[in-house]
Amino acid sequence: MTSLTEIKVPDVGNVPSIDVVEVLIKPGDVIALDQTIAALETDKASMELPASAAGTVQQVFVKPGDKVSEGTLIATVLAEDAVVTETKAVVEPVAAPTPAAAPAVAPVQTPAPVVSSVAEPAKAQSAPVAATHINTGKPKPHASPSVRLFARELGVDMNLVSEGSGRKGRILKEDVKRYVKKAMTEGLPGASGGAGIPAIPAVDFSAFGEIETQKLSKIKRLTGQNMSRVWLNLPMVTYHDEADITDMEAFRTQLNSEKGKDEIKITGLLFIIKALVATLQQFPSFNASLSSDGENLILKKYCHIGIAVDTPNGLVVPVIRNANQKSIAELAAELAEKSAKARQGKLMPSDMQGGCMTISSLGGIGGTAFTPIVNAPEVAILGVTRAKMQPVWNGSEFVPRLMLPLDLTYDHRVIDGAEGARFMATLKLYLSDLRRLLL
C-alpha cells in the first residue's frame, strides 16, 4: 500500500516567519522517518526539521531563503505502508549572540520548545554528535545539519570549532575546514588530546612536594608529537621471537680479534642490518609505504635503513642509504660516523630522511622485549634487546646457545600476521646462519 503524504512545518510556538536555511532533500530521494529534511531558523532558534513520513520524495515546495510558518507545505512523500507521525522540529538554541551578562550555560530563550514525540532510540540515531558530546558547559554550536554531517564525516567535534563566521555565529563548512587545517598544522587544541580524546587534566604537582620544571628539548617535543600521531593513526602489532646468534657471535669475536686497536669494532647490529636488508628484498611489502590516501602501496626499489640513536637531547634516526649495497666495513664506518654526528647534534635533516625500515637496538643496554613504534610512513620497525645465553633443546639434549630477542612491529593495514611471522622467520634464518647471505 502506498499513499501520498504531506510534510508541513509543525507548530514551533507561534512564530510568524521562519527562514528556510537549507533544504536537504530533492524529488526522488528515499527518506527515512525522522531524517532531517530541512534547516529552519528564526531570530532566536535554529531547527532541524525531521521527516514525518518515510518514503520517496515526490515534490519539494521550498528552497533556501523562503519564509515559512506553521502549516507551510515542505514536501510530499510517497509513503509505503505509511508510518506517519506528527512532525516536531528539533529546536536548538542560537549559540550567539549570548548576552555577556548571562551565565555561559544559559541558552537563549527559544520559542516554546515543541515536545518531541519521537521515540528515544530514534532520537539517539538522529543525533550521534550529541551522544558523544563532551559537556563543555557551553550551548550546542549553531550549525546546519549538512555542516554537522560534514563535521561528523571528518570526525570533528563541533564543540571544538571556535565561533562560526556565519550569521549569528553560525558555524559554516568553511569554519570546519579551517579548524581541520589548523589541527593538521598545529596539532589538536589543548582542550583535547587528539581525535576527540579528552586531554589528561593538568595537575599541580607542587601540592604533593618539591618539584622542578625542565623545558623539553626540541627533539623530544617533535618526537613526542610524531609518536602520538603514529600511535593514533596506525593499527600496530608487535611480534616477538628469538634468533640463535651463537655462530654469528663467534664470527664477530674472531673478526674483532683480527682488528687493530684503532679500528672500528664490529657490533652485532651490523650483521642485523645485513640480515634485515636481505629479508626486505624477499618481502617487498615491508620495503614500502602506504600512499597518504591509503589507496596504494608504494614499493621502494632502494633499501635505506634508519637506525634509532639515543642522544642526550633525545632520539634521532639517521638513515644509512642503500644499505643493501654496502659491506660490513662500510656499514661500520657509516654507523660510527652517523651515531657520533647524532650525539653531537650535527645531523642534517637530509641525514634522517628517506628511510625504508628502522632498527631500534637497545641491546647495549639490556632488555628482554619491547614494542617499538613504527617510524611512519615506514610500515615496520625492528626492535632488538640483549642477547642471552640460554639452554636450548636440540632434540636430544640442552645446549647453551646465544639467543637474540627480536621485536617486529608492523602496520597491520599493510602487513598481516602471517606475513609478519614469515618475515621474522626469514630474518632469523639469516642471523643464525650468515652464510645464507651469500646465496
Which of 133, 142, 304, 412 is labelled catalytic?
412
Nearer to ligand CAO, 96 or 315 (CB): 315
Question: Is residue 432 a contact residue for ligand CAO (CB under 6 A)?
Answer: no
- Report CA-CA distances (Å) from 189 to 147, 162, 185, 195, 213: 21, 11, 11, 10, 22
Fill in the amino acid letter for 42. Answer: T
Report the C-alpha gap between 434 and 428 in whole angstroms: 10
Question: Of 58, 267, 285, 426, which one interacts with ligand CAO (CB under 6 A)?
Answer: 267
- The stretch among 112-120, 133-141, 307-315, 420-428 that binds ligand CAO (CB under 6 A) is 307-315
DSSP three-state, residue 143 = strand
Question: Of 11, 80, 241, 310, which one interacts with ligand CAO (CB under 6 A)?
Answer: 310
Q: Answer left, alpha or beta for residue 28, where phi above 0 means left and psi between -120 and 50 means alpha.
A: left
Binding mask 388-417 for ligand CAO (x = CB under 6 A): ----------------x-------------
Question: Of 141, 145, 166, 268, which one interacts with ligand CAO (CB under 6 A)?
Answer: 268
Q: Which of 372, 335, 339 is nearest to 357 (CA)?
A: 372
Nearer to ligand CAO, 175 or 407 (CB): 407
Nearer to ligand CAO, 66 or 241 (CB): 241
Question: Is residue 341 a contact residue for ligand CAO (CB under 6 A)?
Answer: no
Q: Which residues of 349-376 are buried (b: 16+ CB within 10 A; e: fewer)?
A: eebbeebbbbbbbbbeeeeeeeebbbbb
CB of 341 within 8 A of CB of 378? no
Binding mask 64-103 for ligand CAO (x = CB under 6 A): ----------------------------------------
Report the C-alpha gap between 131 and 135 in whole angstroms: 10
Q: Which residues of 1-26 are buried (b: 16+ CB within 10 A; e: fewer)?
A: eeeebbbbbbebbebeebbbbbbbbe
Question: Is residue 128 a contact residue for ligand CAO (CB under 6 A)?
Answer: no
Look up 412 and say whether it is catalytic: yes
Question: Of 21, 387, 408, 424, which one interacts with ligand CAO (CB under 6 A)?
Answer: 387
Nearer to ligand CAO, 114 or 404 (CB): 404
Question: Is residue 380 a contact residue for ligand CAO (CB under 6 A)?
Answer: no
Please report how close the Cβ of residue 422 comes to ligand CAO at its closest, in angstroms. 23
Question: Is residue 360 a contact residue for ligand CAO (CB under 6 A)?
Answer: yes
Cα dihedral: 76, 79, 83, 86 (round 10)? 0
- Number of chain positions touching ligand CAO (CB under 6 A): 20
Please report how close the Cβ of residue 361 comes to ligand CAO at its closest, in angstroms. 5
Q: Which residues of 73-87 are buried (b: 16+ CB within 10 A; e: fewer)?
A: ebbbbbbeebebbeb
Instruction: Just list the catalytic residues.
Output: 412
Residue ranges in contact with ligand CAO by CB under 6 A: 265, 267-269, 307-310, 315, 339, 360-364, 372, 384, 386-387, 404
